[in-house]
Every structure is written in structure tokens, then in C-alpha cells.
Amino acid sequence: MTIAVRKWDLPEAQLQMGTLRRRLEAEGMRTAWYSEVPGAVFPEHSHDFDESRWVLAGYLHIEAAGELHSLGPGDRIDLPAHTPHRVQVLGLTPVTYVTGASPDAFPHPAA
């Protein structure tokens, strides 16, 4: 399985939280955003759904399907469902990223 990192394709000034969320939502995904501290490590895990991660600020290493990917501002990675992956936050600053997944992956909270 080959997993590719895609680069931001608009002017850098348009790399904003709302823009990333709208682009993923236009693809039919539900979105959430996260900010993680420098040095954070998330051990190998997988999800029952396809997942996209789009970095807004900071840097991540994602090891997936035996490949190591370095992501920085504007980089997006798409992980198919059930892909084992581990994540590490790089550098001295937090990373902020938006995730997108199928609508049933993030159920609506009870009203």
C-alpha cells in the first residue's frame, strides 16, 4: 500500500483552519481539529474508517504501512481504514491539524 502526502495547492495566506475544514467537508467528511504538544507520541493504532489529517501549523511524523511521512504546514495525508499508524509531534512547538473522516466516525452528541 502506498500512502502519499499532498501539498497545499492555494496561496499560503489561505491556509487557515476554516479553509481546511470546508475543503474536507466538501468531500463529505466530518471534521475535528487537534493541537498536540511537542514530543507527543501516539503508539500504533488504526481506525475503522478512512481518515485524512491536514497540518495547519507545526510538524508531524506519521509511520503508516511501513512508510515514514513528514508533514508540515499545508501537508495532507489520507489513511485508508484499518491502516496501522503511529504519530509523533516534531520540533519545539505544538502541532495543529484538522482531521476528516466519514460522517459515522464522529457521531453527533446527544441533544
Where are the strands (E) in the chain, listed by range? 5-6, 30-36, 41-45, 51-57, 59-64, 67-71, 76-79, 85-90, 95-101
| 52-68 pLDDT tens trace | 999 999 999 999 988 99
Question: Residue 109 has what pLDDT?
Answer: 55
Cα–Cα distance, 111 to 101 (Å, whole number): 22
Q: Is 96 strand, coil or helix?
A: strand
Domains and CATH numbers, the chain: 5-103 (2.60.120.10)
Count the helices and strands in the chain (H runs, E runs): 1, 9
Cα–Cα distance, 52 to 32 (Å, whole number): 11
pTM confidence score: 0.88
Question: Residue 111 has what pLDDT?
Answer: 45
Provide the residue-wise pLDDT of the chain in tens; the chain has 111 residues.
Answer: 568 899 988 888 889 999 999 999 999 999 999 999 999 999 999 999 999 999 999 999 999 988 999 999 999 999 999 999 999 999 999 999 999 998 877 665 554
Question: Residue 61 has what pLDDT?
Answer: 96
Distance of CA 100 to the CA centre of its chain: 7
